[in-house]
Structure 1
Amino acid sequence: MANHKSARGSRLAGSVRGVLVAGAVAAGAVVLTATPALAQPINIPGVGAIEIPGQLPAAPQSPSAPSVAPAPLASSHGTQALRAAESKLGSPYVWGATGPNSFDCSGLVQWAYKQAGISVPRTTYDQANAGSPVSKNALQPGDVVLFNGAEHVGIYQGNGRVVHAPTEGQPVKSTPVDAMPFYSARRF
């Protein structure tokens, strides 16, 4: 008799377990929604056929970001001034020239910002005191960068480069910022 009771208890536990599993499966089928194409019917004895939602395909992965993202632009005026300065790459350096065909360093900065509708002082020393100060580690394209105790100036391009009119015999060009002794930077 003990064996009969034990078997009966096992059957009862199995039935309860089966009902609980069926209930959980049914509840899952109600809670989870799936497209009919992904539903997979399953037959549970004593309950019947129940549709179980299939797994949806994994969402497509976005392409990995480039290892070096372009630096954000400082402002629309800075962007415009930078583009104007870049349009003069290769133009001759002439001391005291303010464009449009030849430049000295501060003349290039003044001319480029004028193209963006911003009035910037003429000399590097005055440019060093205008606009808002910017730390070297916060440089953004279009910022004005001063070198050698404010004796030289250029416009930051991003990615560690500056557009400037270097000196007699060298045209307007792009150079690494660290090629010259950094003094300060300004944002207009």
Structure 2
Amino acid sequence: MRLLIMGPPGAGKGTQAVALAERVCGPHISTGDIFRHNIRRRTELGALAEKFIAAGEYVPDAVTDAMVRDRLAEPDAASAFVLDGYPRTAQQVATLDDLLDARGAFVDGVIELVVPDEQLVARIRRRSADGGRLDDTEEVVRHRLAVYSAQTAPLLRAYGERGLLYRLDGTGDLEAVRQRINFALGV
């Protein structure tokens, strides 16, 4: 099963994607993790990504697509995966469709976690206090929420038109959200 998990920063995508990936027997593929891995390794793509992340901007499609393309080519992602944080633009949707089509595959479902903005800001501030990330200041988070709304939310409509979208309440405890996801997907 090839799934996407979407939602604004702080919606709990990563936490839920890990458990969901186990259920579908595929890897959890997070663009955030891919970016941080490339930044730590000081790759050329990582250096480009770091500039945008620090400013609260999305990493350009060409950079993100190259990193995701490499990751999806790994053997563990051949038949199942949960993509977290990708796609975020219409161009990335087209790229993902092309990558999967070349393998005779397709996206099986898209989970959208819905959480009110104030709860998102509070969650991210807690996350920052627990370990800190350079993209977790309140100003940057609010900017990212606005960018998400403008750029990514329209993709949800497109996946909805394909009959793939499951809009789920992302509030409450982790297990309650996990149960909503499992019920929606029948896994």
RCO comparison, higher one (Cα < 8 Å, 6+): 2
Larger proportion of helix: 2
Tell me the TM-score normalized by structure 2: 0.23
Bigger radius of gyration:
1
Bigger fraction of residues in strand: 1
